[in-house]
């Protein structure tokens, strides 16, 4: 064998070895099964762990990284089709500000996606799960789900499927009285982040609500995030047919757990009426708030009218009304307890003429 042939043989051998030992299929990776979390850990800043997940074409793929220990570290998450991602070469990367991250591919190619988990700062245990539409946690309209936020920066993701033309509201309710601050975001067709969303909750405490006044047909994604603190919560998606309703005749009862707790209602009225809604709270030593707004959820800063009582009892009024739906928010400024809320006088004014006309 002459020297030229020997050189070519060595060169080919080198390329074969590089392919065998550096191709994605031969590097140490753990495979992800859709919908099944795996656990891992990052030892500290700069540590990296690689995963792979096989999917069919046309799927909405979401990979969620959840730090299983409360920390103030910063992790990174990258995904790439058919090749290992790096911090500079990837198809998508997580956009959240803390350890918890999520990436998505809205319309997958058939084959293997590679996922890189990396610590930008700090380390600790985590769980990682890959979802398609069939396994991502779903909010059935009108059915509450429970969850837990471990602490600041923890996130949870949900999907809700709705037809076109609905008024969609998603309500987050901390099930334990606390002075923590939670965040709620919603987005059509893609995962929201703290910077990119269609709507976000604007309340000052743990309880939050977001709404989409006129939905597109398809999937909305909701992000629950702790800005500070943690604890249990319930989350529920409503359209007009499942949203808690105040009848024109007959009060409803409810409970406020403590400071910052909120409850929402809708009431449907005809035009040119005088609408009065009264809140009777107990005990009187606490301070409750009552807000009303036409066509959209009120907040503590955006509303049509606010009760001006000094204790737990409050009254709001609208005169004359627009035909349609008014939304009410009951909120505890301090303390908690039972209450009764109802529409005053409307039953007599509206139904009595109907009774007379049918005699």
* Domain annotation for the chain: domains and CATH numbers: 30-131 (2.60.120.380), 145-238 (2.60.120.380), 252-346 (2.60.120.380)
> Which helix (H) or strand (E) element contains residue 232?
strand 231-238
Token pair 């800063």 in the structure block, residue:
301
Phi, psi values for residue 71, rounded to 5°: -155, 170
Supply the pLDDT for residue 23. 44
Length of the chain measured in residues: 359
Q: What percent of the chain has pLDDT over 70?
A: 87
Beta bridge partners of 157: 223
Predicted structure pTM score? 0.87
Instruction: State the Cα–Cα distance between residues 45 and 36, nearest whole angstrom.
Output: 27
For the chain, residues with pLDDT lower than 70 are: 1-28, 70-71, 177-178, 346-359
Beta bridge partners of 279: 314, 341
Supply the pLDDT for residue 214. 97
Closest CA to 179 of 283, 257, 292: 257
The contacts of residue 275 (CB under 8 Å, 6+ apart) are: 267, 269, 292, 317, 318, 319, 321, 326, 343, 346
Closest CA to 30 of 56, 54, 57, 60: 54
Token pair 């031969």 in the structure block, residue:
26
Strand positions, DSSP E, 89-179: 92-93, 101-105, 111-121, 124-131, 145-149, 155-162, 168-174
Supply the pLDDT for residue 176. 73
Supply the pLDDT for residue 282. 82
The contacts of residue 108 (CB under 8 Å, 6+ apart) are: 55, 56, 57, 58, 59, 60, 61, 81
Instruction: State the Cα–Cα distance between residues 130 and 60, nearest whole angstrom.
Output: 10
CB 47 within 8 Å of CB 123 = yes
Supply the pLDDT for residue 285. 84
**Residue 225 buriedness (CB in 10 A; 0-12 / 13-18 / 19+):** buried
Supply the pLDDT for residue 84. 97
Token pair 């975001």 in the structure block, residue:
185
Q: What is the mean pLDDT of the chain?
A: 89
């Amino acid at each position: 064998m002459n020297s030229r042939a020997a050189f070519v043989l060595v060169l080919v051998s080198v390329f074969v070895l590089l392919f065998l030992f550096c191709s994605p299929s031969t590097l140490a990776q753990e495979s992800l099964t859709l919908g099944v979390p795996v656990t891992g850990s990052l030892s500290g800043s700069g540590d990296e762990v690689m995963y792979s997940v096989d999917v069919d074409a046309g799927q909405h793929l979401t990979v969620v990284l959840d730090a299983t220990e409360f920390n103030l570290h910063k992790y990174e998450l990258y995904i790439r089709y058919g090749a290992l991602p790096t911090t500079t070469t990837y198809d998508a990367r997580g956009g959240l500000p803390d350890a918890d991250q999520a990436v998505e591919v809205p319309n997958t190619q058939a084959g293997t996606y590679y996922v890189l988990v990396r610590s930008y700062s700090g380390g600790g245990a985590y769980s990682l799960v890959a979802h398609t539409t069939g396994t991502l946690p779903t909010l059935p309209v009108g059915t509450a789900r429970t969850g837990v936020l471990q602490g600041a920066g923890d996130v949870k993701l949900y999907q809700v499927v709705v037809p076109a033309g609905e008024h969609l509201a998603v309500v987050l309710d901390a099930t334990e009285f606390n002075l923590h601050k939670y965040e709620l975001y919603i987005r059509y067709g893609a995962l929201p982040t703290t910077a990119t969303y269609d709507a976000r909750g604007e309340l000052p405490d743990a309880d939050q609500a977001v709404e989409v006044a006129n939905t597109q047909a398809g999937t909305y994604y909701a992000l629950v995030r702790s800005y500070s603190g943690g604890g249990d919560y319930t989350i529920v998606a409503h359209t007009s047919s499942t949203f808690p309703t105040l009848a024109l005749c007959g009060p409803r009862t409810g409970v406020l757990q403590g400071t910052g707790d909120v409850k929402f209602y809708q009431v449907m009225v005809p035009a040119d009426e005088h609408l009065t809604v009264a809140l009777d709270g107990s005990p009187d030593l606490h301070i409750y708030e009552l807000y009303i707004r036409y066509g959209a959820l009120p907040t503590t800063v955006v509303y049509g009218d606010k009760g001006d009582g000094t204790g737990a009892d409050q009254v709001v009024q609208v005169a004359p009304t627009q035909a349609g739906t008014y939304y009410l928010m009951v909120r505890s400024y301090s303390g908690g307890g039972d209450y009764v809320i109802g529409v005053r006088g409307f039953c007599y004014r509206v139904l009595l003429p109907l009774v007379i006309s049918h005699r």
